[in-house]
Structure 1
Amino acid sequence: MTAQRDMKEKNPWHMSGMVALAVIGVIALVTLVAVMVIQNMPLAQKYKYGIVLDAGSSHTTVFIYEWPAEKDNNTGRAEQKHSCDVKGPGISSYVGTPWKAGQTLRECMRQAEDNIPEKRRAETPLYLGATAGMRLLHMKNSSASEEVFRAVSDTLQTFPFSYQGARILSGQEEGAYGWVTVNYLDNRLKQGLRTTGALDLGGASTQISFVPQALDGGGSPGNSVTFRLYGNDYNLYTHSFLCYGKDQALRMALAHHTQSGPMAIKDPCFHPGYAATKAYSDLYDSPCVSDRKPQGAPESFLHTGIGNFQQCQDVVRTLFNFSQCKYSRCSFNGVYQPPLQGHFGAFSAYYYTMSFFNLTDTSIPLDTVKETIARFCATPWQQVKQENPGTKLKYLVEYCFAGAYLITLLTDGYNFTAETYADIKFIHKIKGSDAGWTLGYMLNLTNMIPAEAPDTPPLPYSGYVTIVTVTVFLLLALLLLVGRTFRPSCFKRSLII
């Protein structure tokens, strides 16, 4: 007992030293574990946002896009996060009450606030792009269009976003950005694959865009657009036909029937049994037909239907001019168009019309498509209403014309044949995003938004390695020190026993 007590007195490490080494060891071990856990924690992805308002001729839609703050080859990887259809008609309809054009946007813009984090709102760019409806209004009354834009801007500036202004897109921009959207959503741009053409049919205009084998139009440079996306260059053919959207084309067809100012017309593009009284002033209240209004026409005419698809197509063909072309080849109205190339995505009114007829599957032969639409046109109006109770009458009554117009535009206008018709795919959404010009527009705009630096680990790699190495060596040194200090004590204890 005396020997053991003497040994403890001669060895101050026995108690206090052991405690100190234990504390240091625990601290070093905890530090090592903490550094490794924190350094290797997954980093939260940072996102940026953008808002684009598609102010079309018939309605306005608000689209919200998000993309990682880091970009691929200077092109942000934007995806649609949310969309909201504004109640009411397009902003071009509010000529007499422009303030209403702004007020109608408030509900959807409040939804935009809910879908974008508060800390990101101030830096989120907000754009309004107006298409053919506002193009026509600007042609008709430029001061009225400016008043509408002013009212819209006043409303949008009350929201906590970075408002970048409202503008009218050119037809060329609308077609080109629609092409970008279709190919981006199919990952064709990023992977450098063969691109898909784009066919857009709105209410007041229609666009065709594709990459041809060669652009040999000579005197048609306005139909050529060059894009650089994901490090690849694309030479695009695109053309927009103002007044050849579905709604304005119908006006032109009715203008064809009423050239002599009759009191009544029989229309093959409307169902048998359909009858409605329409005002001449309303029909001709558009730059697309205003110069054709017959002199001395009565206030109104009786519009009745006879439902004949073939005759309807004959009427539709009168809307196109195929008699002149100064280029190697044309679509219609003397507009140059190179030979069709590859597959096409058709969206907007193309999709909605063909979806109504259950004809979005283009493996269905073109003759069968025509027969289906012809049977629908020949169906009495009362029966059509009974069989489609969930469809608004405004749209239902125009589907016969829309089907005949769509098919005639594709075949007679753009030169699709019974064989190449199968190259068209009618699309609404691709991977959760709506097909249309807004996503392509947003992708282009993200090139002008500075890329944000990605989150990095708390410590630089060299510092992390240094801390881990020093801590490991400290733990090893402590283990060696403990071993050298306490092993002799144990050995002496065994000798005494």
Structure 2
Amino acid sequence: MEDTKESNVKTFCSKNILAILGFSSIIAVIALLAVGLTQNKALPENVKYGIVLDAGSSHTSLYIYKWPAEKENDTGVVHQVEECRVKGPGISKFVQKVNEIGIYLTDCMERAREVIPRSQHQETPVYLGATAGMRLLRMESEELADRVLDVVERSLSNYPFDFQGARIITGQEEGAYGWITINYLLGKFSQQFEIQGIGNYQQCHQSILELFNTSYCPYSQCAFNGIFLPPLQGDFGAFSAFYFVMKFLNLTSEKVSQEKVTEMMKKFCAQPWEEIKTSYAGVKEKYLSEYCFSGTYILSLLLQGYHFTADSWEHIHFIGKIQGSDAGWTLGYMLNLTNMIPAEQPLSTPLSHSTYVFLMVLFSLVLFTVAIIGLLIFHKPSYFWKDMV
């Protein structure tokens, strides 16, 4: 009778101990998994967005940029994530119909709403930089230029972004921001004239040279108009109109020599207009009619204006995109402006390293202890119960 009672007690105790051990094992495993997954899960993408509108003379383009909120060396590591070309001409053409500017910008600004997460809208800066077209309009009438910019500002202020203003940037700024863009990613013509073309490259070339005043130079070496020209060393990036014109003429390959480019330009300019229109039926006549002059201007500027030679020509790279971003002034503008945006602290893991290690060791020891006790119960039950008694 006593033996039966003792046996029942042992059975009852065994079941309870096993239940406790099993429950402890499950808790330890769950704790280990939870700590491990929590500590090592991918951190959410902590990024910032910025919008730049390039309001040029012929059209407006909207660019959306993204960079890590922490930044590196307080400079946003900026990547272009979207480009939206606004349908219609440049904003300077709306001087007599400023009430249409809001509708004009709608499609691309709505596209920005879609691309940028809603939670980021209010902190996303928007900048508009107007270039050649608005510079010319301001020269004609500062009042009209201000009127256009005022309507642009009111229109862009209606969106949920952090609008920072619209301004006309100078030609020097446009060039400087473009220089920043090119150098960052690798580590327009002012509208001179209404020209009646006759297809004579040499005559066009001579007419263009008259624009470059090389008679006066207060420095050791000048480009033209008394502007200092440093030695032509290293590589040079030619972008924007330089690239688009030369791309159309199929002259962007680095294997094409300066002599070959000049020869091909002469042949293109000498082609009859009707033949040109037939050969390039998909290109708007407005642009098609300018390629001879534009190409000749580029060659004249590079060779006679900046004194490139057949040898140094090899160091000119006509660039459209670099690593998926458009080569131009807008990214340089954004890089410069993001220097004024305070860097945020990097996102950190939920637990400190020491806490993480402590919890992992603790729950591992619990799991190990449970496993040892379980083995003793199963393999040496008499020894186990003897110690208990």
State the TM-score, normalized to the length of structure 2.
0.93
Equivalent residue in structure 2 for 1:310, among 185, 199, 202? 202
Equivalent residue in structure 2 for 1:402, among 268, 278, 294? 294
1:249 pairs with 2:192: yes
Give the drift of 1:67: 1.1
Q: Residues 373 and 404 of structure 1 are in contact (CA less than 8 Å); yes or no, is this contact kept in structure 2?
A: yes
Q: Residues 377 and 384 of structure 2 are in contact (CA less than 8 Å); yes or no, is this contact kept in structure 1?
A: no
Aligned to 2:14: 14
How far, CA to CA, are the matches of 2:143 and 2:176 in structure 1? 28
After superposition, residues 83-162 of structure 1 pair within 5 angstroms as: 83-162=83-162
How far, CA to CA, are the matches of 1:81 and 1:333 in structure 2? 40
Equivalent residue in structure 1 for 2:347, among 455, 464, 467? 455
How far, CA to CA, are the matches of 2:368 and 2:296 in structure 1? 85
Identity across matched positions, percent: 48
After superposition, residues 206-225 of structure 1 pair within 5 angstroms as: none
How far, CA to CA, are the matches of 1:365 and 1:11 in structure 2? 95
Q: Residues 345 and 426 of structure 1 are in contact (CA less than 8 Å); yes or no, is this contact kept in structure 2?
A: yes
SS in 2 for 1:52: strand
Aligned to 1:353: 245
Structure 1's 362 and 477: CA in aligned 2 closer, same or farther, altered over 3 A? closer
Post-superposition Cα deviations, 1:333-383, rounded to whole Å, max 9, x if no partner, equal 122222222111111111111111111114222222112111121111111
How far, CA to CA, are the matches of 2:284 and 2:168 in structure 1? 29
- Unmatched tracts of structure 1, length 5 or more: 189-201, 205-247, 255-266, 271-304
The range that moved more, 90-99 or 342-351, is 90-99
Q: Which has the higher strand share?
A: 1
SS in 2 for 1:71: coil
1:203 pairs with 2:146: no
After superposition, residues 296-445 of structure 1 pair within 5 angstroms as: 305=198, 307-445=199-337
Q: Which has the higher helix share?
A: 2
How far, CA to CA, are the matches of 1:485 and 1:371 in structure 2? 95
Post-superposition Cα deviations, 1:130-155, rounded to whole Å, max 9, x if no partner, equal 12322222222111111101110111
SS in 2 for 1:471: helix
State the TM-score, normalized to the length of structure 1.
0.73
Give the drift of 1:7: 3.4
Give the drift of 1:250: 3.8
Give the drift of 1:478: 3.0
Give the drift of 1:486: 6.2
Q: Residues 320 and 326 of structure 2 are in contact (CA less than 8 Å); yes or no, is this contact kept in structure 1?
A: yes
Structure 1's 399 and 476: CA in aligned 2 closer, same or farther, altered over 3 A? closer
**What amino acid is the match of 1:180?**
I
The range that moved more, 55-64 or 33-42, is 33-42
How far, CA to CA, are the matches of 1:360 and 1:352 in structure 2? 9
The range that moved more, 330-339 or 157-166, is 330-339
Structure 1's 10 and 323: CA in aligned 2 closer, same or farther, altered over 3 A? closer
Count of paired positions: 385
The range that moved more, 55-64 or 134-143, is 134-143
Structure 1's 492 and 355: CA in aligned 2 closer, same or farther, altered over 3 A? closer
Structure 1's 343 and 11: CA in aligned 2 closer, same or farther, altered over 3 A? same
SS in 1 for 2:267: helix
How far, CA to CA, are the matches of 1:94 and 1:483 in structure 2? 86
Post-superposition Cα deviations, 1:380-437, rounded to whole Å, max 9, x if no partner, equal 1111111111111001111111121111111111111121111111111111110001
Output the aligned Cα RMSD: 2.1
SS in 1 for 2:183: helix
Aligned to 1:302: none
Give the drift of 1:37: 2.1
1:3 pairs with 2:3: yes
How far, CA to CA, are the matches of 1:171 and 1:353 in structure 2? 19
SS in 2 for 1:249: coil
**What amino acid is the match of 1:320?**
F
**What amino acid is the match of 1:418?**
A
